[in-house]
Amino acid sequence: MPDDRINIWFAIEDFRASESYEDVVWQRYGILHAPIEAMRLVKESDDEFKARLPHFLEKFTMIQSKTYEDVIQNNPVKAIKEVMAKAFGGDLDPKVCFERLKGLSYSGLFFTSSIMALAYGGQFIVYSDGLMTALEDLFPWLMRRIPSVSDYGSYLDFQHLCEAIAECYGFDSLSELHSFLWRGQDSNWEFR
């Protein structure tokens, strides 16, 4: 094994012993609690929904204000409320939800998958360029087989890869894998 490869087993152990592991608890809380707040939020007036949505996104996701402000300002409130109400209410097929969320102006894969992770009880992983970089750091041989993510089909390829990694490396959830990859890539795999 080349010296520059990251030993994933040691990295996982270091991650679980670090302060970064607190993210896992917070993400699990969000997955459990966000649907309750989302259903309250979508029942608000359009003006109140638009005013409170940023707080909801800041509390439960890693979406930066520039991203959600563009989505909120460039889409009809009714369209955002409708997709959130149906997704968090369990009335929307994941593929349809993905396409509706991604179809919102200024809504990319990160925004779309962040909402999907919350709305579907953690069954979906949040996609980001940073996560792809982390996966390439750890699994370059595997990542050559996965196409770039652009639509629901390629997102499912990415999703299934993450599910396989989580299972094979003993992660309790996709949110734990996400936190590990996010924090690892952000810290150059040095957890504190």
pLDDT at 63: 87
What per-residue confidence (pLDDT) applies to 4? Answer: 64
Mean pLDDT of 127-153: 89
Integer Cα distance of 32 and 51 in angstroms: 23
Q: Specify the pLDDT at position 134.
A: 93
The confidence score (pLDDT) of residue 6 equals: 83
The pLDDT assigned to 2 comes to: 42
Report, as an integer, the average pLDDT of 15-19. Answer: 93
pLDDT of 62: 87
- Evaluate if residue 5 carries a pLDDT over 80: no
**pLDDT tens digit sequence for 160-186:** 999 999 999 999 999 999 999 999 999
> What is the rounded average pLDDT for all residues in the chain?
92
Domain ranges of the chain: 28-119, 125-185
pLDDT over 90 at 91, yes or no: no
